[in-house]
Structure 1
Amino acid sequence: MPDTTIAATIHMDGSATLQIDGRTENTTTDRSEDARRDIVTRAAQHAATTGGPVRVTVTEPDGVSRLVVTADGAVTDAEEIAGDEASPTPAATPTNAGPGSVPAASPIAAPAPRPAAAPIAAPRVTPTPTPTGEDAPAARRQERPSFLKDEQAEQPASQGWRGALSRMGVRMRPSARERAERDDLHAVSQHWAGPRTIAVVNGKGGAGKTPTTINLAAVFARNGGAGVLAWDNNQTRGTLGWRTEQGPHESTLLELLPQTGLLLGTGAQSADLARYVHHQTADKYDVLRSKPAVLANEQRITAEDVTRIHAVAAKYYRLIVIDSGNDETDPLWLQMIDQADQLVVATTTRDDHAEAGALLLEALAERDDRSARLAREAVAVVTQADPKATDADIRHVADGFGSIAREVVTIPFDPALVDGVITFAALRADTQRAWLAAAAAIARGL
């Protein structure tokens, strides 16, 4: 491996800074792709001067890449070279080993040679009984190896330097970061046998339930296709309708309720539901609104109403994400829990929001066996709603839920989540990635 090293940093504005032999050089590019080409050119020039290939460590907003550049401008990933130089038969080291893990294979030593004078006995072969009768064809099919292969060829890298090299014709394997993102995309793109219901809960207002509902619905719909409903199951001032796009009507669940019998009938069509839900044209899911302009006593919804609405939703949608109210004693809220397949606790870094979410899980754990399972398998989504919150604040809340939830995902602060209609494309790249991770964690429980 080469000893000379160049350190390069590509900035958010597309410019770059290089450290070469103790001196600093800057680029005036305004695109990361142009900065990458400039870095390769300068590294190749340096390699020609020194008479050998050089290492280049490139730091970008989305990660760090380690490359090797030769005088003719050829670029190789340093990790690929390290892999080639390693032992051809290394022992595999499993990660996250658990009850279902396969033990790592150990290197197999070659057998010691037999002394030349020692006679070698012919191996004794015990013939395998040949199945006869009706079981013979099935047995032969089981013994014959299939000509078909289940392996799916891995697509080359598409992100960062590895992606840049792939586009230059050098087929590169994706990084661990890109593989993890592909795994999450695969998880949220699945379709399950039968509808699934996700309940987003917290007993405190302002804990992030509505943004969580919106972004989870968007991730599942954008990647898994249509058939996703976000439902505002709130007696008092539900705001899901305020934070999402309105369709060509003003219908809410109050208009839907009298029609549940017709919509559950054999003559109903999926397009009939468009009169009552609001389609999100960019993010591909539908919204069933409550009516926050009306007092709660004028739109009182019963547990039986929730059952009827859920029956309609389950008939027409494969995935239902429910934005809940704050009253955990309301029959509306409890009926939602009884319909849920997966629980999501939404919280910010505020102590009262986090405590309310934790107390909710503890209360459900004592309600009944089904609620206890939901609480045990819950996913906690911790949103940095306050831009002044520190990493320590976020980690404090995440660690607190780590012992009572199945998985915990943190979401960085994003001004696009503060006010107004939320659309997924308006979020920052790191925020989009975090919501994808949250949805994947939920999908693993469905």
Structure 2
Amino acid sequence: MTPPAQQTSAAQPTAPAPLPAPAQPTAPAQPTSPVGQPIVSSVPTMPPAPTAPPAPTSVPATAPVPTRPAPAAPTAQPVPPVAPGASTPAVPGAGAPSAPVSPPSIPPTPQGAPGPAGTGPAADAVASSRRLQREQGIERRSFLQQDPREEPARHGGRGVLNRLGFSLAPNAQERAVREDEHAVSRHWPGPRTVAVVNGKGGAGKTPATVLLSAVFAQYGGAGVLAWDNNQTRGTLGWRTETGAHDRTLLELLPQTQRLLGAQGQSADLAHFVHHQPQEKYDVLRSKPIRLAHENRLSPDDVDAIHAVAAKFYRLIIIDSGNDESDPMWLRMIELADQIVVATTTRDDHAEAGALLLEALEDRDERSARLARESVVVVSQADPKASSADVAEVVAGYQPLARDVVQIPFDREMVDGHLRLRALAAPTQRAWLSAAAAVARGF
């Protein structure tokens, strides 16, 4: 298209150049403003109604084109936006036509549908910004309360005042108890196996197995099994309650494949385990009345029993024998996720447990990890033992294990059936700490 001719001043008029005919005669001419400049609609898809009659489809070549004199004091005027494809009109007083101005890049509003509230360029920018923040991992602050409010004190003098209408926070001691309760109450994904070990008899392995099982069942719910994996007259069954039968793991072994199959049900285990009604855990007994060679199991037998236990229980605590070279004992260590060394303040018990940890460190990397992450439970079995004797044993184990817990002397632990509720309050608190130490290792 031929650009319009340069305008001259009023003193020297020039002959107007002929205008070419429009490329499309049928298209309506753009409306003009009172000053003779085309009006461009801000919405490309909806042209505004014309304010003047449409221009003729053709202009005679000899028709003069009117010109207007330049203003006395020309000033810079903004160039109006021009629709795509249209020529840029000459600005009065300018020497050359201005460059075309591109329309804004904001997508147009659909024709005939006004935009709803909250839409438009600003809303799109905000939504894009939020989306970018989410992609970068920046989450908005939730309106929901994330941290639960601390429960007021329940024990001690603060608990008494709270029952009278006050609302006092718990002290540090009560907070520690709540943290331990929370640790043993958690349910972790998949079953866990804990082996209670010491190479000396009478070191407290069976009480540790029973009372740890009771704590986990009391605070964490059902699904806890105490298993007597002892070749030589294990006494776990003697220190727990007897169920409605006298079956042991020897009667369970022939049924392991059926229980592991699709038809196996947890209720079927009631034929072989002894449920403890007060503490809500189950006991799988050995048969101590038989001789050791009649009671002996192979590593494959240990695997089969453990597979059944892992299918139906979330926590398996194994009471072990005293022979660290026994295939049953070695296979138990290979299946364990954590070990607990039970000992008393007696020198021979403490030394046997320390030697066991050192042997595991030298065995292989997995056994060394079990030794480093072990929990040691030091029970004061002798009421005449001084606090210095207990402190000496505790200090000796601290470099060898992840945690060491002291259990005070309690007559209910000396003989007979072991019940957590029968223990004195300080002893129950100590076993809760021991169970929490084990739970933090899962």
Common topology (TM > 0.5): yes
Q: Does 1:350 align with 2:325?
A: no
**Is 1:215 aligned to 2:207, yes or no?**
no
- Report the equivalent of 1:405: 401
Partner in structure 1 of residue 107 of structure 2: none
1:409-429 CA-to-partner distances (Å, cap 9, x unmatched) read 000111111111111111001
Q: CA deviation at 1:269?
A: 0.8
Q: Which residue of 2 aligns with 1:151?
A: 147
User: What's the counterpart of residue 40 of structure 1?
Assistant: none
Equivalent residue number for residue 288 of structure 1: 284
- Please, which runs of 5 or more residues in structure 1 have no aligned partner? 1-128
Aligned residue number for residue 379 of structure 2: 383
Alignment correspondent of 2:138 = 142
What CA distance in whole angstroms lies between the structure 2 residues aligned with 1:296 and 1:407? 34
| Pairwise CA distance, 1:149 | 2.3
Q: Deviations over 1:110-136 (max 9, x none)?
A: xxxxxxxxxxxxxxxxxxx97859954
Query: Are 2:194 and 1:230 equivalent residues in the alignment?
Result: no
Give the equivalent residue in structure 1 for 2:194: 198
Which whole-Å CA distance do the structure 1 matches of 2:373 and 2:303 have between them? 23
Tell me by how many angstroms 1:146 deviates. 1.6
CA deviations 1:300-340 (Å, max 9, x no partner) are 10111111100000000000000000000001001000000
* Equivalent residue for 1:165, pick from 161, 165, 173: 161
Distance in 2, Cα, partners of 1:428 & 1:408: 20
- RMSD over aligned CA atoms reads 1.6
1:168 positional shift: 1.0
Moved more, 147-156 or 130-139: 130-139
Structure 2 counterpart of 1:242, one-letter code: W
CA distance in 2, matches of 1:275, 1:438: 31
Letter matched to residue 295 of structure 1: L
Aligned to 2:415: 419
Matched, 1:189 2:185: yes
Find the partner of 1:313 among 300, 309, 315. 309
CA distance in 1 between partners of 2:137 and 2:423 (Å): 53
Taking the TM superposition and a 5 Å limit, the aligned residue runs for 1:62-77 are none
- Work out whether residues 201 and 324 of structure 1, in 8 Å CA contact, stay in contact via their aligned partners in 2: yes
Select which of 428, 431, 436 maps to 1:440. Answer: 436
TM-score by length of 1: 0.70
In structure 1, distance between residues paired with 2:377 and 2:303 = 27
The answer to whether the 8 Å contact 1:131/1:139 transfers is no
Tell me if structure 2 keeps the 8 A contact 1:361–1:375: yes
The match for 1:304 is 300
Q: Percent identity?
A: 66
Amino acid at match of 2:196: V
Q: After superposition, what is the alpha-carbon deviation per residue over 1:80-120, rounded to whole angstroms, capped at 9, x for unaligned?
A: xxxxxxxxxxxxxxxxxxxxxxxxxxxxxxxxxxxxxxxxx
Q: Which runs of 4+ in 1 moved over 2 A?
A: 129-144
AA aligned to 1:304 is D
| Higher share of residues assigned strand | 1
Calculate the TM-score normalised by the size of structure 2.
Answer: 0.70
> In terms of mean alpha carbon deviation, does 137-146 or 167-176 score higher?
137-146
Specify the alignment match of 2:364 in structure 1: 368
Distance apart, 1:299 and its partner CA? 1.6
Task: Choose 297-306 or 216-225, whichever is displaced more.
Answer: 297-306
